[in-house]
Amino acid sequence: MRQIEVCLSPDLIHLYDVKDKIVVVVDIFRATSTMITALANGVKAITPVADLETCRAFQHQGFVIAGERNGLPAEGFELGNSPLSYVNQAYQGREIAVTTTNGTLAIEKSKPGSAEILIGAFLNLQVTANYLAQRDCDVLIHCAGWKGRFNLEDSLYAGALITALPTSHTFNCDGALAMEALYQAHKDDLSAFLHKASHAKRLQNHNIEADIDFCLTFNKFNIIGKLVNDKLIAQTVSTEQTILEPSSITSR
């Protein structure tokens, strides 16, 4: 059996061996939800960069630049971090350079030796699970958190991804055990539960309630997001794999 683990914060990633694993980076509010939305809406590629200045430099190369710090759009950037900016193929065919508070850092920290890096969101949960089930690799879910702290939304995504996975993967990791159990306990009131999260409250203060609701939509898109040569691109997944219902794997 392949293994699945959950790292609850980029500040704990040094405790995990990412070598030869598929690392799924998740920053639900909102970096990876926005990236998946952009890719599903025809954006050609997304270059995640660590800081605002590096990101700005991409503008001269014809990139659209998107930046956010502390939940607010970065000054002088064309786009902030809202998934709704990309719907209706608004940036189809364009290349985007993006920097966010937590998400891009988590991607950077996932690189050394890993087999692949995916980005995950509720928006493409099942297709990501299907892809992982088809690949012969151990998986590490890397929650971006909030400035190094544990956060609820990324951790619950980890629980949802474990639940959505067929019997291909098992775990001996308390982070995986806890988050699968927490997801099971709250999957029927997930939106209400996640609205209590500290970052959701922060976003509510910024009047972007619509973003929160969008980020909590399940399986809206059928592509995975994958890092190839330092750019995130969309990839389709073959549908050969049988999709098991979560209820069939809860005895694990």
Smaller CB separation from a second copy, 96 or 194: 194
Alpha helices in 72-124 (DSSP H): 103-109
Residues within window 50-89 making contact with a second copy, judged by CB under 8 A: none
Tell me the DSSP string of 5-73. Answer: EEE--GGGGGGS--TTPEEEEE-TTTHHHHHHHHHHTT--EEEE-SSHHHHHHGGGGT-EEEEEETTEE
* Strand order through the sheet with 139-143: 72-73, 64-69, 95-99, 45-48, 231-236, 223-228, 116-120, 22-26, 139-143, 2-7, 169-170
Q: Is 198 in the site for a second copy (CB under 8 A)?
A: yes
Residues 99-138: x/- map of binding to a second copy (CB under 8 A)? ----------------------------------------
Looking at 8, 39, 127, 223, which residue binds a second copy (CB under 8 A)? Answer: 8
User: Which amino acid is it at 23?
Assistant: V
Min dist CB 201 to a second copy, Å, is 8
Residues within window 134-193 making contact with a second copy, judged by CB under 8 A: 146-152, 155, 172-175, 177-178, 181-182, 184-186, 193
| Structure tokens that stand for 133 in this block | 């089930």
Smaller CB separation from a second copy, 47 or 102: 102
- Of 11-19, 88-96, 210-218, 222-230, the segment contacting a second copy by CB under 8 A is 11-19
Min dist CB 52 to a second copy, Å, is 22
- Of 71-79, 86-94, 194-202, 236-244, the segment contacting a second copy by CB under 8 A is 194-202
Q: Is 201 in the site for a second copy (CB under 8 A)?
A: yes
118 exposed, middle or buried (CB, 10 Å; 0-12, 13-18, 19+)?
Answer: buried
Q: How far apart are CA 32 and CA 44, in angstroms?
A: 16
Smaller CB separation from a second copy, 145 or 225: 145
H/E stretch holding 98: strand 95-99
List all residues 6 or more positions away from 96 whose beta carbon is below 8 Å from its beta carbon: 38, 43, 45, 46, 47, 63, 64, 65, 66, 79
Q: Is 197 in the site for a second copy (CB under 8 A)?
A: yes
Pairing of strands 231-236, 223-228: antiparallel
Min dist CB 109 to a second copy, Å, is 14
Q: Is 245 in the site for a second copy (CB under 8 A)?
A: no
Smaller CB separation from a second copy, 87 or 181: 181
Q: Which residues bind a second copy (CB under 8 A)?
A: 8-9, 11-12, 15, 146-152, 155, 172-175, 177-178, 181-182, 184-186, 193, 196-199, 201
